[in-house]
Chain A
């Protein structure tokens, strides 16, 4: 490699870094930080659990980071938190049998610093996105993960009388699994 080519490569690399840095500061950004509860287990091992379902309150804590860079045409006003199955899964899959997605329901609530937001309560898990929580603040103040947090609660196999979609009584014993994707979406004009 000639000296000219070497310095050229250095310049290209440096230029790319500079451009990334500048752009990162000039535009809005959103970050979800998984602070607690990266895996949610439901263990059904008694008739009571089968009859009444299982609720895991505050099973996951998410930190929210959202900054406004005052870019013209992009007025950040808040965010929405949505959830759906990861990769388009259409069932809670077991070794042999499947469970319908709506045996699992999820709720997002303010855990810290987001009391002005609105929760939609428990929502059925689905392959399509569903809004769990929305937050709007005009003018917008930046949100930082350690002072702005959401909690996710989960329920599984709740009876109809308790607002669920039916118990798991009669379902074949198995180990069923599904992955849930949560998404933080900035909102406001231009988004």
Chain B
């Protein structure tokens, strides 16, 4: 019995000690962040480009969206598109076929490099202008793709067969090219038969349509140009 009383006394003391501390209380709240991927390309203008050659002057000099001074006419040779992406992205593009094909006579072909384009950035994000990766300029978010670089430098690139990289992320460690349509807003300015062959990588055909040998057969030549937006990790 004596031993029991000692144990009881110890229990009393321990209880007092355990509750003698200042008490704080805690709760745990789980927080979840669910990042769903958003990847969307929207062509806002110029989903169908058509060059109509009906004067000798056009056969000699070609038709160019850059050369047209009338704004309404210029829109006829421009493709405007925007990208909304939550992740780093790139665009591949290219003609569906190896050449333009005649509508009236499928045997008629026209080389793709008679058509070319320059590219303009209208949004907050810019192309790199110098060096392989302008990581110090967080706004220069697109790598110097050969076509894009050519467009930025003013030397239009020739249309090529799909797939070819058009625009991609510059792999900057500090900022991605992801953004909304106001960040990623582009214009492709198309031309045909202009003989602009100064692009060092993918030049357009040197000869105007009137000087080519053999001369292109009169026809309506068409080719679908495909664009694919994808994640660029």
A binding-site residues for B, Cβ under 8 Å:
4, 8, 11-12, 15-16, 18-20, 22-24, 26-32, 34, 37-48, 50-51, 60, 62, 74, 86, 92, 99, 103-104, 152, 154, 156-157, 168-186, 190-191
Among candidates A15, A32, A46, A171, residue contacting B11 with C-beta atoms closer than 8 Å: A15
Known: A16-B15, A18-B12, A28-B22. A45 touches B28 (CB 8 A): no
Whole-angstrom distance between the alpha carbons of A31 and B175 in the complex?
Answer: 44
User: In the complex, are the beta carbons of A176 and B22 less than 8 A apart?
Assistant: no
B binding-site residues for A, Cβ under 8 Å:
1, 4, 7-8, 11-16, 18-38, 40, 84-88, 175-181, 233
- A24 CB contacts on chain B under 8 angstroms: 19
Known: A47-B38, A104-B33. A30 touches B15 (CB 8 A): no
- B15 CB contacts on chain A under 8 angstroms: 16, 18-20, 22-23
Q: Within the complex, what minimum Cβ distance (angstroms) separates B164 from chain A?
A: 24
User: In the complex, are the beta carbons of B31 and A42 less than 8 A apart?
Assistant: yes
Q: Within the complex, what minimum Cβ distance (angstroms) separates A191 from chain B?
A: 5
- B40 CB contacts on chain A under 8 angstroms: 47
User: In the complex, are the beta carbons of A172 and B87 less than 8 A apart?
Assistant: yes
Known: A173-B86, A177-B30, A177-B31. A45 touches B24 (CB 8 A): no
Known: A16-B15, A47-B180. A179 touches B22 (CB 8 A): no
The interface centre, meaning the residue of B15, B23, B25, B33 with most chain A CB atoms within 10 A of its CB, is B33
Known: A30-B24, A43-B36, A47-B84. A170 touches B19 (CB 8 A): no
Whole-angstrom distance between the alpha carbons of A8 and B176 in the complex?
Answer: 73
Task: Label chain B's interface by main secondary structure.
Answer: mixed
- A103 CB contacts on chain B under 8 angstroms: 33
User: In the complex, are the beta carbons of B34 and A42 less than 8 A apart?
Assistant: yes
- B8 CB contacts on chain A under 8 angstroms: 11-12, 15
- B179 CB contacts on chain A under 8 angstroms: 47, 51, 169
Whole-angstrom distance between the alpha carbons of A12 and B10 in the complex?
Answer: 9
- A154 CB contacts on chain B under 8 angstroms: 31
User: In the complex, are the beta carbons of B86 and A50 less than 8 A apart?
Assistant: yes
User: In the complex, are the beta carbons of B33 and A173 less than 8 A apart?
Assistant: no
- B21 CB contacts on chain A under 8 angstroms: 27
Report the nearest A residue to B37, measured CB to CB: A173
Q: Closest 4 interchain pairs by CB?
A: A170-B176, A19-B15, A23-B19, A8-B4
Whole-angstrom distance between the alpha carbons of A74 and B175 in the complex?
Answer: 53
Known: A43-B34, A47-B38. A27 touches B29 (CB 8 A): no
User: In the complex, are the beta carbons of B4 and A12 less than 8 A apart?
Assistant: yes
Among candidates B36, B84, B176, residue contacting A45 with C-beta atoms closer than 8 Å: B36
User: In the complex, are the beta carbons of A186 and B22 less than 8 A apart?
Assistant: yes
User: In the complex, are the beta carbons of A172 and B35 less than 8 A apart?
Assistant: yes
Query: Would you list 13 pairs from A and B whose C-beta atoms are within 8 A, ordered by A residue?
Result: A4-B4, A12-B7, A19-B13, A37-B29, A38-B30, A43-B36, A48-B180, A92-B31, A104-B31, A175-B34, A181-B26, A183-B24, A183-B25
- B13 CB contacts on chain A under 8 angstroms: 19
- B175 CB contacts on chain A under 8 angstroms: 170
Whole-angstrom distance between the alpha carbons of A191 and B22 in the complex?
Answer: 6
- B88 CB contacts on chain A under 8 angstroms: 170
Whole-angstrom distance between the alpha carbons of A39 and B84 in the complex?
Answer: 30
Q: Within the complex, what minimum Cβ distance (angstroms) separates B130 from chain A?
A: 23
User: In the complex, are the beta carbons of A176 and B7 less than 8 A apart?
Assistant: no
- A173 CB contacts on chain B under 8 angstroms: 35-37, 86-87
- A22 CB contacts on chain B under 8 angstroms: 15-16
User: In the complex, are the beta carbons of A175 and B32 less than 8 A apart?
Assistant: yes
- B1 CB contacts on chain A under 8 angstroms: 4, 8
Whole-angstrom distance between the alpha carbons of A176 and B35 in the complex?
Answer: 8
